[in-house]
Structure 1
């Protein structure tokens, strides 16, 4: 293990992207100046010990002074916020979706309820983020000044006991290989959306029309719910697999070949299942084609032919998207 490179990474990962390269170059030069000509690993450890904890050193490189929360707590403050905020968002979304499903009366059009709920969810998420930011900042600012002595802080203990040996447990994750929290959040929301749309397709996925200025009204479902529900055990398995894959990505934090393999297997099987379901001749609602033929003043055969091509295009697009996603994950895992 190259202790110098790991130490430089541990410092620069806490800085803004625009300053990382310059600081890395300066820090490497500083470390090299501290080392003898034919240095040993112990010489490197001694030099790094003199430089101190990477978190504290990184604080000295920041352009913006941290008046409210000092450098001893700033990194653990940011780490805490990064861990709490995604869960706060997920819990807020989950609670709101659960309330809407449990108290849905069936009198309103699902699409109208969804659009209204999205607005409420966004407002609630913003409110939760403000509350989390405010209270965590207050707590850390209080601890920084009068709450707990520095000797009692777990983070301070870690800082005091830091040695170059701690670098052995650090992981250098290249930016292009990293799995962002945004990707994980999107995967979770997407899984929840398609799962709800699948099991409630007869109330959610359908033809909507506005009549008498009363907003959108649900006219009829596009899919045959009985046909969809005949596959529900397989779909339930894929939901569990997708959630497990999200947890696996969260723990790995970067693309690895094992993760790529698991991701590819799950997505390829899901693509095959999607094609099988899409090929079922009883998937579409029987009343849909006559209704569309009357609506567009054309023949049922023309509508049926158009729906076949549209459905093939959707299926092909989904398959191509899955293949591209698998290839991109493989390419990222191969990066060094």
Structure 2
């Protein structure tokens, strides 16, 4: 015996409902559908067309069942979406970069070839990104389905201070990535070398071999201080006179260290210099020109960094002064 469209529709609707509520929903739907069909029959519609129209108006049985069960039909709804997005953005800004840097560093230390280092780093970066999307989304899907409360409700205390000149989280992350790349480059230069020539055992170093280990450790410490300074600017929500002074001091130390090493012939590997300079570096005029260009670039970069720091500190002081005056 063939079942009617109404019976098929009701069966499709109640199948996914808890057993203890199926009969109640069945009775409710049978009554409401019958009333709706009866109303259309009184208006002169054909019985078959009336039934089809009523069932079509009710919509997809799965959607109707979800409304009875109070079950969401979205992966992550508005209740959790903003929290999911904030957490995902924070983790994506940190975890993949750290994973890529860590894997590249390990590969360099164990002496892997450049192609393998790059391939492994890219693979781990992609894998970390995919895992972050999957697991963070899965956590919030579970929270959505279980209706668990989260401590991420917004209130006015979370409003950020206006910040026109301070360093954002992106600048801190960029600083960390830059320092990681610099340290990785130093390790690569020491253990693998950047210049490969015939007849040379392994790659040739660009930095002077006598920099290892203490001078290199000092340079690494200066790089980490730069990261610490960026973090302080972020925590302070902008530049201040003290942070500008610290930035100036770091820049001066950098210039002093680099120029001292250059003046004592301890910055660049002599073999590398003799390889790249015309005449093997035997022409004093050529070496002098290269040295002057290096000094100008180092001093110019430091001067720009110092100027930017004081300019941002001045603008931040002006902004805060204006805010204080408006408050009074």
Corresponding residue number in structure 2 for 1:173: 162
**RMSD (CA atoms):** 3.4
Partner Cα separation in structure 1 for residue 102 and residue 194 of structure 2: 26
In structure 2, the residue matched to 1:87 is 94
Residue 72 (1) aligns with residue 79 (2): yes
Change (3 A) 1:124 1:273: same
Question: Deviation at 1:273?
Answer: 1.2
Cα pair 1:184 1:250 within 8 Å, conserved: yes
The two structures have a TM-score, normalised by structure 2, of 0.61
Q: Which residue matches 1:137? A: 137
2 CA distance for matches of 1:222 and 1:95? 23
Q: Where does residue 256 of structure 1 map in the other structure?
A: 240
C-alpha distance after superposition, 1:113-143 (max 9, x if no partner): 3454234323321221122112212321332
CA distance in structure 2 between the aligned counterparts of 1:70 and 1:187, rounded to whole angstroms = 35
Distance in 1, matches of 2:303 and 2:81, equals: 41
Q: Partner residue of 1:310?
A: 290
Q: Does 1:221 align with 2:221?
A: no
Note if 1:324 corresponds to 2:324.
no
- The answer to whether the 8 Å contact 2:104/2:120 transfers is no
Q: Distance in 1 between matches of 2:191 and 2:289?
A: 25
Between the two structures, name the one with larger relative contact order (CA 8 Å, sep ≥ 6): 1
Q: Cα distance 1:78–1:240, how it changes in 2: closer, same or farther (>3 A)?
A: same
Q: Which residue of 1 aligns with 2:147?
A: 148
Return the alpha-carbon distance in structure 2 between the equivalents of residues 229 and 204 of structure 1. Answer: 16
Residue 301 (structure 1) aligned to one of 276, 279, 282: 282
The 3 A distance-change label for structure 1 pair 318 and 122 is farther
The answer to which of 274-283 and 218-227 deviates more is: 218-227
1:235, CA displacement in angstroms?
2.6
Match of 1:208 in 2: 196
**Alpha-carbon deviation of 1:225?**
1.0
1:281 matched to 2:269: no
Name the count of aligned residue pairs.
Answer: 244
Query: Aligned to 1:281, what secondary structure does the other structure show?
Result: coil
- Stretches of 4+ moved more than 6 A in 1? none
Q: CA–CA distance in 2 between the matches of 1:223 and 1:277?
A: 11
Per-residue CA deviations over 1:89-114 (Å, capped at 9, x if unaligned) read: 23312430342144227xxxxxxx34
Identify the range of structure 1 (94-103 vs 264-273) with the bigger mean alpha-carbon deviation. 94-103
Once the two structures are TM-superposed, the CA of residue 217 in structure 1 deviates from its matched residue by 8.8
